[in-house]
């Protein structure tokens, strides 16, 4: 093989890895992780968390109720 063929195959593998290989590797790693770990619950579904809504406003007192309803 000459240098251009080697360069072609190296670049073709890079393109393949970029568009297909990386996603396949991530998919396989996620599947392996699912096999070895158990599902964990990070929060209790009966307890609802408090939410704080910050609305930046300067001289816009009339728009705040509409903004809260929209959010």
pLDDT in tens, 21-62: 999 999 999 999 988 888 777 777 677 778 888 888 888 888
What is the model's pTM?
Answer: 0.48
Per-residue pLDDT band for 18 (boundaries 50, 70, 90) equals very high
pLDDT band at 3 (very low <50, low <70, confident <90, very high): very high
Name the residue with higher pLDDT: 70 or 17.
17
SS3 of the chain: CCHHHHHHHHHHHHHHHHHHHHHHHHHHHHHHHHHHCCCCCCCCCCCCCCCCCCCCCCCCCCCHHHHHHHC
């Amino acid at each position: 093989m000459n240098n251009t063929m080697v360069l072609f195959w190296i670049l073709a593998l890079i393109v393949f890895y970029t568009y297909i290989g990386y996603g396949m590797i991530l998919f396989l790693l996620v599947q392996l992780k699912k096999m070895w770990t158990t599902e964990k619950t990070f929060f209790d579904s009966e307890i609802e968390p408090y939410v704080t809504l910050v609305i930046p406003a300067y001289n816009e007192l009339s728009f705040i109720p509409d903004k809260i309803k929209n959010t």
